[in-house]
Amino acid sequence: MKVMKFGGTSVGKPERMYQVADLVTRDDERKIVVLSALSGTTNSLVDISNSLADSSRNLAKQKIDKLEAHYKQFINELLKTEEARQKALQLISEHFEFLNIILKISFSEALNKDILAQGELMSTKLFSAYLTEIGIDHELLPALEFMQIDAFEEPLIGNIKVKLSQLLKTHNDKKIFITQGYICRNSKGEVDNLKRGGSDYSASLIAAAITANVCEIWTDIDGMHNNDPRVVEKTVAIEQMSFDEAAELAYFGAKILHPASIWPAQQFNIPVKLLNTMEPKAIGTLITEEAGSVGVKAVAAKDGIVAIKIKSSRMLLAYGFLRKIFEVFEKYRTPIDMITTSEVAVSLTIDNKDNLEDILQELEAFGTVEIDENQTIISVVGNEIAQTPQVMMRLFDSIDNIPVRMVSYGGSRHNVSLLIPAAYKTQTLQVLNKGLFGL
Ligand code: ADP
Ligand code: ASP
Ligand code: MG
């Protein structure tokens, strides 16, 4: 079996949905098709939710009506027969009725999650309606019946596997299954989600749960590029990379993949392919255990980083100092991304600011604490990057004019990270594109 995940732009217009239908029906293999919400929908739902949280009910109502008009128009273009249109309008109206009802309810975090789930619930229903109209046999699998996270927001792979196989077994005769990306149930049984961009993660978890032979991520670009195409003009697709390289790039800002989307596939050794819905013949990127080549492959940038420096003469020749510092971050469940040390100070970075004040207060017990906000991590990724001749020299030559705050080298064989002020991000990605890739 295989998994095919299609992102927002891949289902964002009726003609794109036709293309998706072509792609899922062009072979006979049994498959689970994971869909995102239509492009722009989750952003609109976030907006609606924010308006409700601010008690701006009229504004929320206007946004709901605008979204509904968009869906009505979409259905009229997507479906050809009046009967199919009426059915689809009926399906979608349930979701808008729900949104209109919540206008009258007091806002809560659980309600926010319910609102955000509407996008994927609607896109899968619309795609299913289209497949039905053109006579393609398929089954809609509700993700809320099998996709589960625990109290720490970690997916329960074992449960997902059991529930999903039961569902698949009850539809032994079917070949095409459609399900929602992004949405899940949490430990309280409430509707929740896998964070923005989470449909990639859904796809990888599903692929792991059914031990798929491949997890295809279909998007709007021909694979993982060597640099961020939103920031840098000339970028090229990478044909092959390892799970480690892809995980590093995803975690450090390559938006094409959700930060956590590689580990499930890696754990179950399932190849991941990044493919372009708009250009299905393009080779795309194959991600497996093998890197395919050595040397620098790509750079990515992760914004919103805070650097924390703890300076203390007590650190001199002391052991246990780092442990005490790490315990503070552990207590507040805040991951550390980069770390550098000197004999009297340690600098580290975090991107989760939820508990920053408490963390800083506790760290003060160990020395003078300074923070730098608005930092960006630039991650240079490639198999055996540090062992490859000239890479380091070219890297540091390129960033001669950039005020680098931290450098992390040697933590793994495939990554060098730099911390820079966010204002230098574009310039840094550009000079690295030239210096490392000659582009
Ligand atoms: P989808 O809606 O299909 O999930 P996303 O917008 O989440 O698509 O991800 C695809 C986008 O990721 C691309 O259009 C591109 O702008 C952006 N992107 C950022 N970094 C990279 C990279 N290194 N390689 C390819 N795409 C990237
Ligand atoms: N629709 C969700 C989002 O926009 C999930 C996804 O597209 O991956 O974040
Ligand atoms: Mg995405």
User: Residue 347 half-sphere exposure, CB side, CA atoms within 13 Å?
Assistant: 16
List alpha helices for 41-142, DSSP H. Answer: 41-53, 57-78, 82-102, 109-133
Residues with CB under 6 A from ligand 1: 7-10, 36, 197, 219-221, 224-225, 228-230, 254-256, 298, 300
- C-alpha–C-alpha distance, residues 169 and 101, integer Å: 36
- C-alpha–C-alpha distance, residues 439 and 296, integer Å: 13
Rounded to an integer, the average pLDDT of 389-407 is 93
Q: What percent of the chain has pLDDT over 70?
A: 99
Residues with CB under 6 A from ligand 2: 7-8, 36-37, 42, 119, 181-182, 196-199
pLDDT in tens, 16-33: 999 999 999 999 999 999
pLDDT at residue 413 in the model: 83
Residue 366: left if φ>0, alpha if ψ -120 to 50, beta else—which one?
alpha
Mutational test site, ligand 1, from 215, 218, 256, max ligand atoms within 8 Å of CB: 256
Distance 35 CA to ligand 2 centre (A): 9
pLDDT at residue 157 in the model: 97
pLDDT at residue 315 in the model: 64
- C-alpha–C-alpha distance, residues 281 and 136, integer Å: 23
Rounded to an integer, the average pLDDT of 34-57 is 96
CA distances from 363 to 67, 213, 405 (A): 47, 47, 20
Report which bound ligand comes closest to the CA of 254: 1
Q: Which of 146, 141, 150, 177 is nearest to 159 (CA)?
A: 146
Confidence tier at 412 by pLDDT (50, 70, 90): confident
pLDDT at residue 410 in the model: 78
- C-alpha–C-alpha distance, residues 25 and 136, integer Å: 8
Measured in degrees and rounded to the nearest 5, phi and psi for residue 266 equal: -65, -45
Element (H, E) at 165: helix 157-170
Atom of ligand 2 nearest to the CA of 258: 8
DSSP code for 37 = P
Give yes or no for residue 13 having a pLDDT over 80. yes
- C-alpha–C-alpha distance, residues 125 and 130, integer Å: 9
Give yes or no for residue 220 having a pLDDT over 70. yes
Rounded to an integer, the average pLDDT of 25-48 is 98
Mutational test site, ligand 2, from 3, 34, 42, max ligand atoms within 8 Å of CB: 42
pLDDT in tens, 301-321: 999 999 999 998 776 557 788
Mutational test site, ligand 1, from 221, 277, 426, max ligand atoms within 8 Å of CB: 221
Residue positions counted in the chain: 439
Letter string b/e over residues 94-122, b meaning 16 or more CB atoms within 10 A of that residue's CB: ebbeebeebeeeebeeebbbbbbbbbbbb
Give yes or no for residue 68 having a pLDDT over 70. yes
Give yes or no for residue 172 having a pLDDT over 80. yes
Element (H, E) at 162: helix 157-170
Q: Which of 315, 317, 412 is nearest to 325 (CA)?
A: 315
Give yes or no for residue 352 having a pLDDT over 90. yes
Asked whether 404 and 340 are in contact (CB, 8 A), the reply is: no
| Average pLDDT value for the chain | 96
Distance 385 CA to ligand 1 centre (A): 24
pLDDT at residue 56 in the model: 93
Kindly list the structural domains of the chain, giving each domain's residue range(s) and its CATH number in brackets, ordered by start: 2-220 (3.40.1160.10), 298-437 (3.30.2130.10)
- C-alpha–C-alpha distance, residues 251 and 303, integer Å: 11
pLDDT at residue 387 in the model: 81
- Name residues whose C-beta falls within 8 Å of residue 185's C-beta, 6 or more positions apart in sequence: 144, 147, 148, 149, 191, 192
Atom of ligand 2 nearest to the CA of 36: 7
Q: Which of 217, 282, 278 is nearest to 250 (CA)?
A: 217
In this structure, of 181-190, 319-328, 371-380, the range with the lowest mean pLDDT score is: 319-328
pLDDT at residue 343 in the model: 80
pLDDT at residue 317 in the model: 59
Residue 255: left if φ>0, alpha if ψ -120 to 50, beta else—which one?
alpha
pTM beyond 0.85: the answer is yes
Confidence tier at 224 by pLDDT (50, 70, 90): very high
Rounded to an integer, the average pLDDT of 264-288 is 98
Confidence tier at 344 by pLDDT (50, 70, 90): confident
Report which bound ligand comes closest to the CA of 252: 1
Q: Which of 217, 216, 234, 212 is nearest to 225 (CA)?
A: 234
Asked whether 42 and 196 are in contact (CB, 8 A), the reply is: yes
